[in-house]
Chains A and B, each alone.
Chain A
């Protein structure tokens, strides 16, 4: 009798226990937390973004377009496209090779190799540019030899491309590796045992499985390549119309108090950043949906 009484008691306390706030916060606390997070994220994310576009359009669309059509701005845009156009494909090929070697095989020293690939992420951008100055600059290790042969790397376009490659070095490899590793080797082994060559296995088995990670790695690599400032600033020499990329052009024009022109070029890079975020969200949504479909399909016999 006593036991049955306690049982009904605990049963009736069930719903009230859940509603008593032991598992959720009170509505007022919830709104305070949401409000604080919203204020913090708005001040640090929305406002800086809004400032870029509002400052760019402050004096109307004519001034905005004039800032972009300026010959120095156009040459900066061309140089940025050139540097990213060389750095991104090279790092993509490297990322695919690294993901293949590290993701499909086991060998001694693998984790050391992965850490070494990550190195450029941990180096300050300014130091990244500076190590190329120490290598190829006038005072650098190869400096005298380069002068004798009339080759300019520092304060010229090759230095900018090298610095861009360095700072975007790990992106594709880092994005691709976990996906390639998670896929396992079964499908590749099946393909090879059925007579596929290495390239066929790569193109028809591995690549289709890892395509979203590859696309994501490439767009991140590209966003960083086009926006890199510190490393490129050290090796460029800031020669207007010759060795200024878009971020360097922004600095020069901003320091010249031409704010509308600076923000006009900045708005292009901000748009690139927003497109990058949109593609990222799209790919994540795609991956979530694929996981849900796989889960739903897995339940069936």
Chain B
């Protein structure tokens, strides 16, 4: 790879039209070479191999497997449940971010740290814990059973688990925007006669909307592929409470490799599409954010994680 080339100098501007800008700092070759090698061996080649394997199926076979009734039922549950969970997180996430930024109350610091729990708690632990909590003799399950509501081993259970694992995203994308928001905008709105509700819907909401939408997209993408926290609470009945990742595992256990491959490739294509969509959303919301806070924003070195962790 000709990354070192510095020969193409544009004679008019003396702007080097180079593949890599010249730098006095050494070590580019080693670092770049290792990065690309490691990435290729562990990520790109296995991913390419999966597509190569799938190409053994004919176009017709592939879609027949992808669109089989049992697979379709699993998409409805995985995508529908993820959508409901992400909508719940959109609403409660904005509320939680607002409360954590604007109000003071005892225990706020601990609560703020705990918001990241769904990232830090292994999914299998979350899974058995949620299943126990909402089972008919669990703390919440017993309570809800008296009201006639059953969550464990129903579709509601899937939604609860998918809400849990998506919880940090909206809170953590909206929180920094609210923190940086200049109070002057609200003061201006109020001085022009807006009441608090008008200020909220016309001034605050438009400012946090791009960030909230990004958080929503990240929560949704993460939920679609989620496995560990769902399978314990879901009941896993084919056609009813079976999520798509579980269907892939079941097909594998039944040695139905072509079925598993087709659905896995389909899910991969959807994840790549969502990744692209979220990237576009972030570029857009980043531009919005910059337009609003033209003053240099304080450095937030840890924010990137929430941005990066989109849809595991």
Contacts and interface: CB of A to CB of B under 8 A. Distances in A.
Nearest to A197: B26
A193 B46 contact: no
Contact of A125 (B47, B111, B228): B228
A100 B26 CA distance: 10
Given A105-B28, A113-B35, A174 B49 contact: no
B285 interface: no
Contacts of A98: 31, 35
A118 B113 CA distance: 25
Interface residues of B, number: 108
Contacts of A135: 45-46, 49-50
Interface stretch (B59-67, B208-216, B270-278, B287-295): B270-278
B24 A280 contact: no
B27 A202 contact: yes
A64 interface: no
A182 B120 CA distance: 26
A127 B96 contact: no
A25 B245 contact: no
Given A134-B53, A165-B42, A126 B249 contact: yes
Contacts of A106: 20-21, 23
A131 B46 contact: yes
Q: Dominant SS at the A interface? A: helix
Contact of B133 (A21, A22, A47, A188): A47
B72 to A, nearest CB: 18
A33 B245 CA distance: 36
B interface SS class? helix
B167 interface: yes
Contact of A223 (B49, B120, B194, B279): B120
Contacts of A124: 224-227, 245, 267, 271, 312
Contacts of B25: 104-105, 185, 188-189, 192, 198, 201
A51 B138 contact: yes
Interface string A16-34: 0100011111000010011
B196 interface: yes
B228 A259 contact: no
A273 B123 CA distance: 11
B20 A33 contact: no
Contacts of B301: 175, 178-179, 182, 212-213, 287
B9 to A, nearest CB: 16
Contact of A229 (B20, B52, B123, B267): B123
24 contacts: A38-B99, A44-B163, A100-B27, A105-B25, A106-B23, A113-B36, A116-B39, A116-B43, A117-B35, A117-B39, A122-B275, A123-B271, A125-B228, A131-B47, A169-B43, A179-B301, A229-B122, A229-B124, A250-B125, A250-B128, A266-B128, A270-B125, A277-B117, A280-B302
> Which A-B residue pairs are the 4 nearest by beta carbons?
A227-B122, A124-B225, A22-B190, A273-B120
Interface of A: 17, 21-25, 30, 33-34, 36-38, 40-41, 43-49, 51-52, 55, 90, 93-94, 97-98, 100-102, 104-108, 113, 115-127, 130-135, 139-141, 162, 165-167, 169-170, 174-175, 177-179, 182, 185, 188-189, 192-193, 197-198, 201-202, 212-213, 216, 220, 223, 226-230, 233-234, 246-248, 250-251, 254, 259, 262-263, 266, 269-270, 272-274, 276-278, 280-281, 283-284, 287, 291
